[in-house]
């Protein structure tokens, strides 16, 4: 009997321009904050692209320099036309990816996961249901780092304050039975960065933090 085909995914990564990103790291200085925000995005996208269940990665950003650098990684990049509306940005990105590859399931992924390992992303994706939207909560159990939907019709991300509860209230399935600490470890402040470094960050973040002596 032939085996069932492997489910494939498209990852959507919204990236805020580094000039405005990661305000809670401003105490390190603006140059360091911008460099770290860029490194986080590069390492997140690199890990997503290396995930064995991911066929496409689509980055959404209005930073032209960052866009060129990310495109060099072999991923697709489009501009963001929705200003500060993260969920609106993701809805437009999902529609565009569905137009390009309607066969792929959709994944919204935060761009500040510098320790993300491709195999952990794969474990989480494999644990999502085939008939409902799902999400992965952050390490603090308050926010969300990833939202997964089997179709465009079921893709309704609710990122923002207390997004874990917002996704639960919307009826989304919480992926909580897999050990994926690097997928849960988003970085907003110094304490988060220390935890990410403990897990082991990607090449770009490692370089920046070494230069900064962190």
Rounded alpha-carbon distances, angstroms, from residue 187 to 9, 52, 205? 24, 24, 11
Q: Residues 181-190: what's their mean pLDDT?
A: 97
Tell me the binding residues for phosphoenolpyruvate: 144, 160, 163
DSSP string of 138-205, one letter each residue: -TTSSSEEEEEESSGGG-----STTHHHHHHHTTPEE--SS--HHHH---SSHHHHHHHHHH---HHH
Q: Residues 85-89: what's their mean pLDDT?
A: 94
- The domain limits of the chain are 9-212
List, for residues 27-77, the tens digit of each pLDDT value.
899 999 999 999 999 999 999 999 999 999 999 999 999 999 999 999 999
The pLDDT confidence band at residue 1, using thresholds 50, 70 and 90, is: very low
- Domain 9-212, CATH among 2.40.40.20, 3.90.550.10, 1.10.3720.10, 3.20.20.70: 3.90.550.10
The reported pLDDT for the residue numbered 214 is 81
Q: Return the structure tokens found at 5.
A: 């085909």
List, for residues 54-63, the tens digit of each pLDDT value.
999 999 999 9
Tell me the binding residues: 144, 160, 163
Rounded alpha-carbon distances, angstroms, from residue 12 to 4, 23, 70, 83? 25, 23, 13, 17
List, for residues 116-152, the tens digit of each pLDDT value.
999 999 999 999 999 999 999 999 999 999 999 999 9
* Residue 90 or residue 22, greater confidence: 90
The answer on pLDDT for 81 being more than 80 is: no
d(CA 63, CA 71): 12
């Amino acid at each position: 009997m032939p085996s069932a085909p492997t489910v494939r995914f498209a990852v959507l990564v919204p990236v805020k321009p580094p000039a405005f990103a990661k305000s809670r790291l401003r105490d390190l200085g603006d140059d360091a904050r911008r460099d770290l925000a860029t490194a986080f995005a590069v390492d997140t996208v690199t890990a997503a692209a290396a995930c064995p269940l991911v066929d496409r990665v689509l980055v959404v950003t209005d930073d032209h320099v960052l866009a060129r650098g990310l495109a060099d990684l072999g991923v697709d990049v489009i501009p963001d036309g929705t200003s500060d509306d993260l969920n609106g940005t993701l809805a437009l990105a999902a529609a565009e990816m569905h137009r390009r590859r309607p066969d792929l399931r959709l994944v919204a992924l935060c761009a500040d996961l510098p320790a993300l390992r491709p195999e952990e992303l794969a474990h989480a994706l494999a644990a999502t249901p085939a008939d409902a939207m799902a999400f992965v909560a952050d390490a603090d159990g308050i926010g969300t780092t990833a939202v997964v939907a089997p179709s465009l019709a079921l893709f309704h991300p609710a990122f923002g304050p207390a997004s874990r509860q917002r996704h639960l209230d919307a009826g989304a399935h919480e992926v909580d039975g897999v050990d994926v600490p690097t997928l849960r470890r988003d970085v907003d402040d110094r304490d988060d960065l220390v935890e990410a470094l403990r897990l082991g960050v990607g090449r770009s973040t490692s370089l920046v933090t070494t230069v900064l002596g962190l």
